[in-house]
Structure 1
Amino acid sequence: MFTRAIAATLAVALGTAAIAEEKTHSFTMATGWSGGPLMEIGAQAFAEKVAQMSDGRIEIEVYPAGTLGPGLKVSETVKNGIADMGHTWMGYDWGIDRTTVLFGGFAGSFDSERMLHWIYRAGGAELQEEFRRDVFGLVSMPLFIRTAEVFLHSRKPVSTLADLEGLKLRTAGAWLEISKNMGAAPVTMPGGDVYTALERGAIDATEWGTLWENQAPGFHRVTKYVIIPGVHQPTAPFELVINEDSWAELSEADQQLIRDAAFMTTMESWLTIGQNDAEALAFFRAQGNEIIELDPEVQYEAREAGLAWAEQIAAENAWFRKVLDSQKAFDELWKDSGKYRNVKTRGAE
């Protein structure tokens, strides 16, 4: 009895000591967003989940775009140690290495369901982490994903290739080059500047997020037309970047906690956006917007232009080739999935 009592006391003492040894952390997070779903169900939701899962040991203070650094340069802010981590779209760094758009989505990407499978079950997340470390010296993992975006909120009707000619549109990533080759006049700017640019007529149109996400910025108040579907961006995974020194402060268990929180936040964002998008068309119609579906010719042309662009870049960029080949192999594996996953129904579009 005495021996058992001592053993029990020692077990409690050791357990208490182990708990006491768990470190607390206070991190800062830079973001590319001033608010909206990317902040609320992305960066902020992730920070809250980490705090909950760590019983408050790991705190992440989230800052809006422009507070710690420029909204389009979150990765630079994190790399320089101004922030411990950041929430961004990797494609903003396409000027440094165009491989970033393969992880962030472009006109040649598959849809979000396939992208999620590629990321989490076909090696995409591992490639993303390896690429970011190798080229940028950052720790990286997916955090948040969109379904297909709205093609444009536009002051002018757009449905044909001819309508794209000379159209001044705000965009980012690969679509800057691809849309220019299709006749448009693209520019890039942070999301917070887009409303004013549209209101003043500095641009004719913008792409930004999905139907639901675009309610918050209010583009519908300064444009008449909602153009769908988002052929330029069939999917849009976003990214958590972490400074290597800050990452090294975490134990292996806490690193896994961060990965788990990022995964859960990503899946929850996909489900939330998908459901709310289904309700958003009625909102825009009620606001007096006209919904225009792009001609099939534009949809085919955009994807083909995206794939052709990707092959050109892959010919001269080894990392781009490696990631593109992985995605193409996945696409080939899934080519017949519609036959065994989708059941035809009458009247289905």
Structure 2
Amino acid sequence: MYNISKIALAVGLSAGLATTASAAEIDWRMATPWSGGPWLERDAQMFADRVAELTNGKIAIEVYPGGTLGSALRVTNTVKSGVAQVSHNYINYDYGTDPTTALLAGHSSGLTPEEFMLWMYEGGGADLYEEYRLEVFDVVAFPCAILGTEIFLHSNKPVRTLEDFQGLRLRTSGAWAEIASRLGASTVVMAGSDIYSALERGVIDAAEWGSPEMNRPTGFQEVAQYVITPGVHQSGGFLECQVNSDTWEELSENDQSMLRLAGKLSVFDTWLASSYADLEAYQELVDGPNEIVELDQSFIDAIYEETTKWEDEYAAENEWFARVLESQRSFKNGMNSWSEYRLPIGVMGR
């Protein structure tokens, strides 16, 4: 499925470089959960532009902000029903239907963005992703943007140890809400738009949201003194693009290949853009009035230990969860020798 030949790649890129004045033959609406920001204005639009280029203008996609084509948190239903032909989405919004989504979205598993990309495109992850989405949710889906490592917490309290985490009133969601509760936090699920005021008024002690780039415009750093790192709860992940299954079947095999290729190219481009933007955004935190707090290794170890228990429990009762987990664990085992011959990113040389 993802063994795109060099010939197909060359043909697609050649088509993308060509310009055409002809009107699109196929017009699609893209549903998203995003009200604004980089995920809407950069990442979703990037995929739409890639599709237009790779299909030589045949397929045109109009991107819609969250809530305009249906519920912002039920984008999968919007695509499945045909209200939108395509989406730009976060698979973890379907966590309540099946926890396997957490493994594919990114959780406290230790997969970095770079490792996630290797697993997806060389370790069989993308094929599993597409097969899973079609079988369980009846939509065709594939990765189309990478998520950087998140800030662990914007917090009104310093958090370094497992003891500091006990009773912490924490805004979070998905798998981490379960795991953090098991580690002793008092978790609260709330919309992103409510986090700033909740931190400011002391309704919650801390919140996790996204990477430095994604957190910068939220202003969390203005109402929470402490910035807690590293983001081991979400060390990497993906956003997806979904296509209505009936709409997908109407496409030629070449157009289907070009859509997958548009997703793959968008993953690479978003990795470049978001990684670079995160550097600047994080440096602003370092240079600003906030205090950067680093988690103790003993707490990190406890997180991974509890995550493994959580994974094993779901794998025992969910066939798809077990299948994806086994693939990821096998991949991670194969990465053990990486640090023996590859230099770490961001460490200054001698």
Decide: shared fold, TM above 0.5.
yes
CA distance in structure 2 between the partners assigned to 1:99 and 1:109 by the alignment: 16
Partner amino acid, structure 2, of 1:214: N
Match of residue 184 from structure 1? 185
2:44 paired residue number: 43
The CA distance in 2 between the partners of 1:58 and 1:296, in whole Å, is 49
183-192 or 232-241, which moves further after superposition? 183-192
2:4 is matched with none
Structure 2 gaps of 5+ residues are 1-19
Asked if the contact 1:149–1:208 (Cα under 8 Å) also holds between the matched residues in 2, the reply is yes
Equivalent residue of 2:232, what SS?
A: coil
Residue number in structure 2 paired with 1:143: 144
Q: Write the deviation string for residues 148-200 of structure 1: whole angstroms up to 9, x where unpaired.
A: 11001112222221221222222222101000001111122333333333333
Is 1:81 aligned to 2:100, yes or no? no
Q: Which runs of 5+ in 1 are unaligned?
A: 1-18
- Structure 1 stretches of 4+ with a deviation exceeding 4 A read 343-348
- 1:302 maps to 303
Q: Distance in 1 between matches of 2:332 and 2:97?
A: 27
Shift of 1:71: 2.3
TM superposition shift of 1:100: 0.7
Corresponding residue for residue 104 of structure 1: 105
- Please tell me the residue identity of whatever aligns with 2:259: I
User: Hey, what does 2:115 align to over in structure 1?
Assistant: 114
Determine the C-alpha separation between the residues in 1 that align with 2:101 and 2:151. 21
1:87: Cα distance to partner? Answer: 1.6
**In structure 2, do the counterparts of structure 1 residues 236 and 190 end up closer, same or farther at CA, with 3 Å as the change threshold?**
farther
Q: Secondary structure at the match of 1:216?
A: helix
In the comparison of the two structures, how many residue pairs are matched?
331
SS in 1 for 2:274: helix
- In 1, Cα distance between the equivalents of 2:87 and 2:66? 10
Partner of 1:129: 130
Q: Distance in 2 between matches of 1:343 and 1:71?
A: 38
Instruction: Report the CA distance shift for 1:100/1:339 in structure 2 as closer, same or farther (over 3 A).
Output: same
Question: Relative to structure 1, is the Cα distance of residues 83 and 190 closer, same or farther in structure 2, using a 3 angstrom cutoff?
Answer: farther
1:249 CA drift (Å): 2.9
Aligned partner letter, 1:298: F
The alpha carbon displacement at 1:343 in A equals 7.1
- The structure with the larger Rg is 1
Assess if the C-alpha contact under 8 Å between 1:195 and 1:217 holds in 2. Answer: yes
Query: 2:16 maps to what in 1?
Result: none
Q: 1:344, CA displacement in angstroms?
A: 11
Q: What is the identity, as a one-letter code, of the residue corresponding to 1:112?
A: P
Instruction: State how far apart, in whole Å, the 2-side matches of 1:122 and 1:276 are.
Output: 28
8 Å contact kept, 2:24–2:57:
no
Q: For the Cα contact (< 8 Å) 2:106–2:237, is it kept in 1?
A: yes
Taking structure 1 as reference, are residues 278 and 189 closer, same or farther at Cα in structure 2, changes over 3 Å only? Answer: same
Letter of the 2:112 counterpart: D
Following superposition of structure 1 onto structure 2, how do residues 52-91 of structure 1 map, counting pairs within 5 Å? 52-91=53-92
8 Å CA contact 1:91–1:172 kept in 2: the answer is no
Pairing 1:157-306 to 2, within 5 Å after superposition: 157-306=158-307
Q: 8 Å contact 1:102–1:109 — kept in the other structure?
A: no
- Does 185-194 or 67-76 show the bigger shift? 185-194
Give distance in 2, aligned partners of 1:346 and 1:215: 24
- For the residues of structure 1 that align with 2:51 and 2:175, how far apart are their CA atoms? 33
- Contact kept, 8 Å, 2:51 with 2:258, in 1: the verdict is yes
TM superposition shift of 1:321: 0.7
Identity within the alignment, %: 44
Contact kept in structure 2, 1:150 and 1:209, CA below 8 Å: yes
Tell me if the contact between 2:52 and 2:59 (Cα under 8 Å) persists in the aligned partners: yes
Q: Which amino acid aligns with 1:143?
A: C
- Give the match's secondary structure for 2:118: helix
> What is the alpha-carbon distance in structure 2 between the residues aligned to residue 30 and residue 193 of structure 1?
23
SS of the residue corresponding to residue 99 of structure 2 reads coil
Q: In structure 1, what is the Cα distance between the partners aligned to 2:345 and 2:204? A: 42
How far apart in 2 are the matches of 1:196 and 1:77? 30
Task: Give the TM-score normalised by structure 1.
Answer: 0.88
> CA RMSD, aligned part only?
2.4
8 Å CA contact retained: 1:108, 1:304: no
Structure 2 contact 145–271 (Cα < 8 Å) conserved: yes
Cα deviation, residue 41, structure 1: 2.6
Task: Please tell me the residue identity of whatever aligns with 1:279.
Answer: E
| Counterpart residue type for residue 289 of structure 2 | G
The TM-score, its normalising length taken from structure 2, stands at: 0.88
User: Which residue of the partner structure matches residue 8 of structure 2?
Assistant: none
